[in-house]
Amino acid sequence: MADFFLFGLGYSARVLADRLLADGWAVQATGSAGTIAFADDDAVRAALARTSHVLSSVPPEPDGADPVLTRYGDALSGKWLGYLSSTGVYGDAGGAWVDESSPVGVGRRRARAAADSAWLGVGAHVFRLPGIYGPGRSALDRVRQGTAHRIALPGQVFSRIHVEDIAEGVLHALTTPGGAFNLADDLPASQNRVIAEAARLLNRAPPPLVSLEEAGLSPAARAFYAENRRVANGKAKRLLGWRPRYPTYHAGLQAILAAEATKRNL
């Protein structure tokens, strides 16, 4: 099995790394939990010389420049390339559906859109991701911690993706041509519905509905609520043969609870 190099061993990339290791790949990565420092040019270039597959989850600079392409782009030729991007590149669609043919770079994620375009320009598989959730990072955790909000914004809707379905999407793309792919579940829904379902699963009362002003959100969280879209995943299904293991937030949250129960009983 060939080597796989990950730039940035964050939440999503760690799940992918575990899947790759289980399948027999040799995996090296940058990041605080990785094996090589990003700025160690000699070590990174030596690892890339042995590597057949490279995926980056490193965010862009504020001006849209991609740190990986800027520093190591000349060492990536001839390799399978992947990049974890964001469906934020589509901006606000007023609740309408967006797919890979929709305009990008029109919302708050202009820097991400620029990096997204740069990776497409070198033939990468660009995986556009909506709200990511999974073990330790879901509505269940926010309800338990008392930090969950239900905000009175009628018509507001988002897509999301379970972290394991991201890894599955990348694995399905290892033998396919590059391009942009939305990896999203099959059931866009309001954040209020997701929070209410998490509360129901935990046998707790859902938090009360409040206005955006009353919620006291950070600027980043308020910007999140300023956009409203449904993300279509048909291209990934057609061209990658991928299907989300957790096609709805109901299934994803239930799976997280079941895994937690299993872990407690070990």
User: Considering its fold, how many domains does the chain have in total?
Assistant: 1
251 in Cβ contact with 179 (< 8 Å):
no
CATH number at residue 199: 3.40.50.720
Return the pLDDT at 85. 98
* Residue 67: Cβ within 10 Å count: 16
Among candidate residues 175, 235, 166, the one with its CA nearest the CA of residue 53: 175
> Binning pLDDT at 50, 70 and 90, where does residue 264 land?
confident
Percent of the chain residues topping a pLDDT of 70: 100
Asked if residue 107 has pLDDT above 80, the reply is no
Asked if residue 213 has pLDDT above 60, the reply is yes
Return the pLDDT at 245. 98
Q: Tokens 């060492």 map to which residue? A: 75
d(CA 197, CA 240): 31
Structure tokens that stand for 97 in this block = 């559906």
Asked if residue 108 has pLDDT above 80, the reply is no
| Segment 143-194, tens digit of pLDDT | 999 999 999 988 899 999 999 999 999 999 999 999 999 999 999 999 999 9
Q: Tokens 């849209």 map to which residue? A: 64
180 in Cβ contact with 149 (< 8 Å):
no
* Model pTM score: 0.96
Return the pLDDT at 263. 85
Q: Give strand pairing partners of 70.
A: none
Three-state DSSP class for 264?
Answer: helix
DSSP per-residue codes, 173-236: TTTS--EEEE---S--B-HHHHHHHHHHHTT-PPPPEE-HHHHT--HHHHHHHT---EE--HHI
DSSP class of residue 61 equals: P
Asked if residue 109 has pLDDT above 90, the reply is no
Structure tokens that stand for 22 in this block = 């289980």
129 in Cβ contact with 87 (< 8 Å):
yes
Asked if residue 135 has pLDDT above 60, the reply is yes
Among candidate residues 235, 193, 207, 254, the one with its CA nearest the CA of residue 87: 235
Asked if residue 205 has pLDDT above 80, the reply is yes
What sign does the CA torsion over 176, 177, 178, 181 have? negative
Return the pLDDT at 1. 52
d(CA 105, CA 95): 17
DSSP per-residue codes, 138-179: SHHHHHHHT---EE--TT--B-EEEHHHHHHHHHHTTTS--E
By DSSP bridging, strand 3-7 and strand 97-98 are: unpaired
| Segment 221-237, tens digit of pLDDT | 888 888 999 999 999 99
Return the pLDDT at 67. 98
Q: Indicate the average pLDDT of the chain.
A: 95
Asked if residue 20 has pLDDT above 80, the reply is yes
Return the pLDDT at 212. 86
Asked if residue 250 has pLDDT above 70, the reply is yes
| Segment 30-89, tens digit of pLDDT | 998 899 999 999 999 999 999 999 999 999 999 999 999 999 999 999 999 999 999 999
- Higher-pLDDT residue of 195 and 213 is 195
Q: Left if phi > 0, otherwise alpha if psi is -120 to 50, otherwise beta: which for 98?
A: beta
Domain with 153, as residue range(s), is 3-265
